[in-house]
Amino acid sequence: MNESEIKYLELLSKSFPSIPATAAEIVRLQAILELPKTTEHFMSDIHGEYTYFSHILKNASGAIHDKINDSFGDLLGEEEKNSLARLLYYPERELAAAAHSDSWYRVTIHRLVAVCRQATDKYTRVKVRARLPKEYAYIIEELIDSDEHDPNKRRYFESIINSVIETGIADRFIVALANLISRLTVNQLHIVGDVFDRGPAAQMVMDDLMDMHGVDFVWGNHDILWMGAAMGNPACIANALRNSLKYGNFDMLEDGYGLNVRPLALFAMEQYGDDPCTNFLPTHVTDCVAENSDVTAKLLKAITVIQFKLEGQLILRHPEYKMDGRLLLGELVRSEGTVTLGGKIYRTNDISLPTVDPADPYRLSEREQQLVDQLVLSFLRSEKLQTHIRYLLEKGAMYRVCNGNLLYHGCIPMEPDGSFTRVTMGDKTYFGKSLMDACDRLCRTAMYDRRMENTDLLWYLWCGPYSPLNGKDKIATFERTFLDDPEARTERKNPYYDLWNSGETARTILTEFGVDFERGHIINGHVPVREKNGESPIKGGGRLVVIDGGFCRAYHEKTGIAGYTLVYNSWGLSLRVHEPFESTEDAVRNNRDITSRVDVIEPTAHRMLIEDTDRGKEMMATIEDLKMLLDAYRMGLIKQNELEETGLAGYSV
């Protein structure tokens, strides 16, 4: 052993200070490697649809029903299984729905314990123990580790259950057991972008995610917009507010995040009180918005004009973005009602822009500047928003590689010939993986150094033509607002979205990110799959899976479904297809998603073990290091210290 190896082993010996401690850790890790691979779920484009998201979390995309089937097979009928599933999803509701006898409690607890055993079969006792609810940890551990059929343990097992019922804690115990099963069924949840916008309760989605174990993100374009807004970037704030007002998400803004939109309302009524704002009527009308759609239209017009001004200022600050073609507001007011796109002149449908100065169209009026300053302060002072965005930053990334899967939200910008687009930022040019790495690094810099020159990049990632998160030549907000011609509103997708059907494209991308093409997959969000039109989510010769199935209610009509969950367990990859439903009550009453449709994408030839995963590879490397430490102890190169407490390497399954 050389000197650097000895120094490393001396550091390792602080955690494992003796031969017995080191040997015990080797035994533990080698045993863990033989456990089945734990279950990963992948979801994308949740878009604030809390009702759907919450229901799918509770049923673990159908995985809990699978556990029930595995536990009982033909021993229970379908209605009994569905009844047990409903209890596991919504234990408080089901328990409150009717009075139950002692015999019902006894049978139900027996069944829940059986399902819990199924849910723990991939984990060590240490990890299960860490997830147990403290108040019932002893009871649950004894029940799931005892064999009720063993004559020596049968009376002990029954005594525990009888005591739970007799002491009056059966309801609370069942709730705790149901929640434990839910936590154990999914080991890792990957969100492949876009928690925010459109749906009514992104803040509630974030609250639930923060309460879960094993969650990570890749950022979507809507996430990055809200990250920029939380960092105080005015252009991002204007876009985030306009999106929320368009979908009538006042509760999320005001009650969810405590963002004060009253100054905007006062300004809108003051400035556009006599303007019908016909082109700004919200397109997605909630009950709240329906009663006040004319007022909402005025708010939308006020924030939209401010948005175009702030974006114009940003584009002029950054000539390197090459977005001068988006400076359409100035052209509109200077030409008194026309703009030119692609060499064609279009007449605009609204020229009532009293706050826009034709001589300096992107300058905010004094009142607009006051309003923007207030809005920026409101976003910066929202404690809940800041907490959510810090979590999103810490747990998120532009892309992620895990267990042979490459995750990203939008696209890897490409040229029509299949080569990666080269994008210049500062004095360097990036493409493919290097572009994603550079964007990731700059987003993190912006979080801690919130100067506008840094946060402006997040706006570009939201809507820039070469942004990996946008994937289009533009976001045609101006055209949809001021131009009636559908041709003018066309957004051209990056060539990636034509090329992604090719297996060769998938090979090029996976190779660029160091992923084995023969075993790896690209998991992509962002673009809803129109399943009702026969579109397949499987592309790239089977190597690319698009998992945006339209969680958002606004997309259900286009996709025909209510989202996908991709499940990767020890038996391979499968896609769970979720049905639309009107409410949680409807879903529970009609067993929707209790039996999700399952499309098997790629089964494995043999059951995958922990040793086949990224964590398994790390463990095997640690085992080799520990074996070297054993040799060093035995050769006398490092002295044992058996009096020190032993530590663990940090791996748990």
The share of the chain scoring above pLDDT 70, in percent, equals 95
Q: Beta-carbon neighbour count of residue 242 at 10 Å?
A: 21
379-415: string of b/e by CB count within 10 Å (b at 16+)? Answer: beebeebeebbeebbeebbbbbbbbbbbbbbbbbbbe
- How much is the pTM? 0.91
pLDDT computed for residue 622 by the predictor:
96
Instruction: Beginning with the edge strand found earlier in the chain, give each strand of the sheet holding 544-546 in spatial order.
Output: 399-402, 405-408, 521-524, 544-546, 538-539
**CA torsion through residues 579, 582, 586, 588, sign:** positive
User: CB–CB of 597/549 below 8 Å?
Assistant: no
pLDDT at 652 over 70: no
Question: Is the model's pLDDT at 653 over the cut of 70?
Answer: no
Find the mean pLDDT for residues 247-272. 94
Token pair for residue 287? 């009950």
Residue 512 tokens, joined: 């660029």
The contacts of residue 68 (CB under 8 Å, 6+ apart) are 76, 81, 84, 85, 88, 115
- If you count them, how many residues does the chain have? 653
Residue 613 half-sphere exposure toward CB, CA atoms < 13 A: 25
Residue 288 has pLDDT above 80, yes or no: no
Query: Is the sign of the CA dihedral 242, 531, 397, 566 positive or negative?
Result: positive
Who's near 302: CB < 8 A, 6+ residues apart? 264, 267, 268, 271, 272
CA-based end-to-end distance of the chain? 32
Q: Give tens-digit pLDDT for 409-462.
A: 999 999 999 999 999 988 899 999 999 999 999 999 999 999 998 999 999 999
pLDDT band at 229; cut points 50, 70, 90: very high
**Spatial CA neighbour of 197 closest among 189, 188, 186, 206:** 206
Q: Give the rounded percent of residues in the chain with a pLDDT score beyond 90.
A: 75
Could you tell me the pLDDT band of residue 591, with boundaries at 50, 70 and 90?
Answer: low
Q: Which residues of 546-580 are buried (b: 16+ CB within 10 A; e: fewer)?
A: bbbbbbbbbbbeebbbbbbbbbbbbbbbbbbbbbb
